[in-house]
Amino acid sequence: MPQTPSGGAGHGTAATDSGLMSIGTVLNVLRHEFPEVTISKIRFLESEGLVEPQRTPSGYRKFSAHDVERLGHVLRMQRDHYLPLKVIREHLEAMERGEAVQLPALSRHHDGNPVPESSEAPRVARIGRQELLAAAGVEEQELREWESYGLVTPLEDGVYDAETLTVAALVAELGRFGLEPRHLRVMKAAADREAGLVEQVVAPLKRHRNPQTRAHAEARTKELAGLAVKLHAALVQTALGVRLP
């Protein structure tokens, strides 16, 4: 007769799982400090080898406390020090070897946001074209096609903001399922309409004479954008009859 597993064995399994978190839980933890982080962003950082969560037999990601701490370091270095992923990876490896890591010195902009002392760099992280190509794993011709459909747009000086990395990675991943840039125009059009709706709501705040009210417009924009993204995801899942992990 097969024997029932002992209480000790069962307890060991529970203890192994108890310290692990789903990607949704990780998202909620990180959003306290990084309100703009998304599941797509976490998946992209995983694809870049910056974090390696465990997988359940059914394929679900399970993150340890160390994974979450590592993600925090990555997001912080992007946000506060404008570092590209290659440099961040090198810093993380040095930290895990116990070496001291010297990050770029920061001063404070007049609006309270940190900026590099020795540079007039923009407030958001930026990456070059070659780095974007390498991160997305695509060729120049593919990137030009994405740009022609408005899926990816460079800034005025020809570089890209950090969020473009997420867009590029997702476009490339969808391409592996046979979805071409021309197929994704509907998603871009929907995103533009949603952004326009948010802009319409916050426009009166941006035009207000009170500087504090105008500053509040940015926070309100982020809040509305987050709600719009959640609603869009929920509507797509409902329409398909699926629930994403």
Residue 9, in any domain of the structure: no
pLDDT computed for residue 64 by the predictor: 93
**Distance of CA 58 to CAs 40, 67, 106, 231, Å?**
20, 20, 44, 27
Q: Is 122 left (phi over 0), alpha (psi -120 to 50) or beta?
A: beta
CA gap 201, 218 in Å, rounded:
12
pLDDT score for 245? 63
Same domain, 44 and 118: yes
Q: Are 160 and 132 in contact (CB under 8 A)?
A: yes
Residue 231 lies in a domain: yes
Same domain, 150 and 93: no
116 and 131 inside one domain: no
pLDDT, residue 87, reads 82
- Residue 103 sits in the same domain as residue 133: no
Residue 3 lies in a domain: no
- pLDDT value at position 120? 38
200 and 154 co-located in one domain: no
Q: Is residue 66 part of a domain?
A: yes
50 occurs within a structural domain: yes
Task: Give the structural domain span for 234.
Answer: 181-245
Q: For residue 245, which of 26, 30, 18, 17 has the smallest C-alpha distance?
A: 26
Instruction: Compute the distance between CA of residue 195 and CA of residue 10 in angstroms, rounded to an integer.
Output: 50
The residue among 155, 179, 203 that closes a domain is: 179
Q: Which of 81, 108, 123 is the last residue of a domain?
A: 123
Are 33 and 85 members of one domain?
A: yes
Is 154 among the domain residues? yes
Q: Are residues 194 and 131 in the same domain?
A: no
What's the distance, CA 29 to chain centroid? 14
pTM: 0.49
Per residue of the chain (245 residues), what is the pLDDT tens digit? 444 333 333 333 333 455 799 999 999 999 989 888 888 889 989 988 899 999 998 889 999 999 999 999 999 888 877 777 888 888 888 888 888 777 765 444 444 444 444 433 334 567 888 888 877 778 899 999 999 999 999 887 788 887 888 888 888 888 888 999 999 999 989 989 998 998 998 888 888 777 777 778 888 888 888 888 889 888 988 999 988 76
Does one domain contain both 134 and 117? no
User: Residue 6 domain-assigned?
Assistant: no
- Reading the block at residue 142, the tokens are 């593919």
Q: How many domains does the chain have?
A: 3
One domain for residues 107 and 34: yes
pLDDT at 5: 39
Q: Are 25 and 68 in contact (CB under 8 A)?
A: no
Residue 35 lies in a domain: yes
Reported as half-sphere exposure (CB side, CA atoms, 13 A), residue 207 has a value of: 6
- What is the three-state SS of the chain? CCCCCCHHHHHHHHHHHHCCECHHHHHHHHCCCCCCCCHHHHHHHHHCCCCCCEECCCCCEEECHHHHHHHHHHHHHHHHHCCCHHHHHHHHHHHHCCCCCCCCCEEECCCCCEEECCCCCCCCCEECHHHHHHHHCCCHHHHHHHHHCCCCCCCCCCCEECHHHHHHHHHHHHHCCCCCHHHHHHHHHHHHHHHHHHHHHHHHHHCCCCHHHHHHHHHHHHHHHHHHHHHHHHHHHHHHCCCCC
Do 163 and 190 belong together in one domain? no
Residue 105: the pLDDT is 52
CATH of the domain at 150: 1.10.1660.10
Q: Are residues 163 and 149 in the same domain?
A: yes
pLDDT at residue number 26? 94
Q: Tell me: do 111 and 24 sit in the same domain.
A: yes
137, 155, 179 — which closes off a domain? 179
